[in-house]
Amino acid sequence: MNAPLLEARDLSRRYHLRGGVLGLTTAVVRALDRVSLTLTQGETLGLVGESGCGKSTLARLLLDLERPSSGQVLFQGRAVEDWPRKEFRRKIQMIFQDPYSSLNPRQKIGSAVGEALDIHNLGTRAQRRERVAELLSLVGLSAEQAGRYPHEFSGGQRQRAAIARALALNPELVVCDEPVSALDVSIQAQVLNLLRDLQERLGLTYLFISHNLAVVGHVSDRVAVMYLGRLVELAPAAALFQGPLHPYTRTLLAAAPLPDPEARPGGARPLGDLPSPLAPPPGCAFHPRCAEAQPGCRESAPDLREVEPGRFVACHLR
């Protein structure tokens, strides 16, 4: 097995909510609780979970946009805080959900795509222009479109431009945060194919965050499932979808509507609402919604354990 490209060790992130005239801490949110995972060069790791589960916090920590309360992130074997800023930023890039708000409406597409080249002082002006044209054609746009503004593009084209911008500095790792959620199905498929082609051509590694299980199941080699700040299951994608081990993963899969009227599911419905991350239930955070919960589940939180080679689950019953 290759050395991991990126490694998260026991990452936790707590946010202190302050209130009152004295600004004292009134509550602590554990947005992320002892999460460990690795990303191998060239793979796609899917990250799924519902709102507030900590997906985006994890992404922010991996990108070093925020520091963990405890734990460590290693990139190519070296702690992220020890990397020179500029060099680190060139190696990891991000694609956001909403290309409408991640592109400056008053900046031409060509300039948006080439901005990173300017900041990092790469090449001459002519070389940069050439590189922008190359990037645009890489994502299926034309060089002539460099002179247009974001509003002249469709949603799918804008997301292509955002992808071109993320690739400008030849990153190793691209964090894709809900990259196709804002797109219509017919366009979504175009962008998913594009992401895969780019991965093959450029040897990219993806961390692919989405709430859409079908999309994650389609693009990922491995899938990590999060619930209220913790990793509850981590497995190869095919195995996870065929035989989910954690009751929460099962619930998620049963709840996701499949485009097949013959497969209308019965049973396995989650009970009640997501608990507030401000007051997570004691013990296993999923136990109030778990159909299989035992008395012991209320007592202690289960650790993530390897139950089969490559398959990890955090559940007392497995």
Partner 1 sequence: MAEPLLSIQDLCTDFLGKHGPARAVDSVSLDIRQGETLALVGESGCGKSVLALSVLRLVPDPPGRISAGKALFRGRDLLALPAEEMRNLRGSALAMIFQEPMTSLNPVFRVGEQIAEAVRLHQGLDQGQAWDLAVAMLDKVGIPDPGERARSFPHELSGGMRQRVMIAMALSCDPDLLLADEPTTALDVTIQAQILDLLSEVRQRRAGGATLLITHDLGVVARAADRVAVMYAGQIIEESPVRQLFREPLHPYTQGLLASLPRPGSRERLNPIPGTVPSIFDLPQGCRFHPRCPKRFEPCDRQAPPLFHPDAERSVRCWLHQ
- Binding interface with partner 1 (CB under 8 A): 50-51, 154-157, 184-190, 192-193, 196, 211, 213-219, 237-238, 241-242, 251-252, 254-264, 269-270, 272-274, 289
- The distance of closest approach from Cβ of residue 97 to partner 1 in the complex, given in angstroms and rounded to an integer, is 13
In the complex with partner 1, which residue's Cβ is closer, 82 or 262?
Answer: 262
CB of 197 to partner 1, least distance (A): 9
- Can you tell me the distance from the alpha carbon of 48 to that of 147, in angstroms, rounded to the nearest whole number? 37
Question: Judged by CB, which is closer to partner 1: 267, or 309?
Answer: 267
Give me the residue label for tokens 């990793």.
231
DSSP string, the chain: -PPEEEEEEEEEEEEEEEETTTTEEEEEEEEEEEEEEEEETT-EEEEE--TTSSHHHHHHHHTTSS--SEEEEEETTEEGGGS-HHHHHHHEEEE-S-HHHHS-TTS-HHHHHHHHHHHTT-S-HHHHHHHHHHHHHHTT--GGGGGS-GGGS-HHHHHHHHHHHHHTT--SEEEEESTTTTS-HHHHHHHHHHHHHHHHHHT-EEEEE-S-HHHHHHH-SEEEEEETTEEEEEEEHHHHHHS--SHHHHHHHHHSPPS-GGG---S-PPPSPPPPTTSPPSSSTTGGG-TT--GGGGT-PPPPEEEETTEEE--TT-
Q: How far is the CB of 232 from partner 1 (least distance, A)?
A: 14
Which of 207/252 has CB closer to partner 1?
A: 252
Tell me how far, at minimum, the Cβ of 48 lies from partner 1, in Å: 9
Q: Is 58 or 237 the residue whose CB approaches partner 1 more closely?
A: 237
CA separation for the pair 68, 55 (Å, rounded)? 14
CB of 215 to partner 1, least distance (A): 5
- The least CB distance from residue 1 to partner 1, in Å, is 21
In the bound complex, what is the minimum distance in angstroms from residue 298's beta carbon to partner 1?
19
3: number of Cβ within 10 Å: 10
Closest to partner 1 by CB, 71 or 156: 156
Q: Which is nearer to partner 1, 55 or 60 (CB)?
A: 55
Residue 198: CB minimum distance to partner 1, A: 13
Q: Pick between residue 189 and residue 202 the one whose CB is nearest to partner 1.
A: 189
The residues with which 25 forms a beta bridge, in sequence order, are: 18
Task: Closer to partner 1 by CB, 21 or 263: give it.
Answer: 263
Contacts of 158 (CB under 8 A, 6+ apart): 99, 100, 103, 150
